[in-house]
Amino acid sequence: MRAKSDVRSVRRSLILHEGAVRRLNSLREATEADSDSEIVRKALMYYEQLCEDDANGRELFVRDAHNNDVVVPVATVDEHAQDEGAPVKRNLVLHEKSAARLDALCKRRNESASGLVRDALVVYQKLVDNTLCGNKLIVRDGRGQEMQYFIPVSRPVIPRRKKPAILERLMLA
């Protein structure tokens, strides 16, 4: 029998479309998260940080394996995802801090919880995909100081490089 935890949890009902549910499942696999709630918690955490970085004039960019930098305007990362498929009701049990983060973001961005979670999942998916490709996600402030986002993923990170000829032949076979 599990001991009762001091952690308070809050149940939230969200309306997500099938595309967001597929994204949630993909992220759970890529990050080896135990639950949808864990994915939503991480997505909200990174989303909130990116919004704060943007508001404070910091820029996000991707650095590839060859140290090439590509600036990624947060406005493009923050694009609203298209609602794909039929709406699906999901009940999530969130830690009270995650629920408070969600409420605060909804108020600041004047958006519904479902819409905000959908956007946060899109951003988190982009961060995870770039990490899986071996790219580094960097934030640079006005003074030129850089900080790297560390996105834990379960699959090994393989830097993008030219495929050896043997691999290309194997892929064509």
Adjacent-strand bridge partners of 111: none
**33-49: pLDDT as tens digits:** 888 989 999 999 988 88
Question: So where are the chain's domains?
Answer: 9-172
Instruction: For 122-136, give one letter per residue: b (16+ CB within 10 A) or e.
Output: bbbbbbbebbbeebb
- Tell me the C-alpha distance between 173 and 168, whole Å: 9
* Residues making up the chain, counted from first to last: 173
pTM of the model: 0.77
- In the predicted structure, residue 171 carries a pLDDT above the cut 50: no
Percent of the chain with pLDDT over 90: 7
Q: Cα 35 to the chain's mean position, in Å?
A: 15
Q: Which residues contact 9 (CB under 8 A, 6 or more apart)?
A: 93, 94, 95, 96
163, 90 in Cβ contact below 8 A? no
- The string of pLDDT tens digits covering residues 126-164 is 888 888 888 888 888 888 898 888 888 775 544 444 444
Name residue, tokens 């935890």. 5
Tell me: the pLDDT tens digits for 52-76? 888 888 888 888 888 888 887 665 5
Confirm if 18 and 85 have CB atoms less than 8 A apart.
Answer: yes
Q: Which of 59, 92, 93, 99 is nearest to 76 (CA)?
A: 59
Written as six digits, the tokens of 42 are: 């991480």
The tokens describing 76, both together, are 């493009």
Amino acid at 36: D
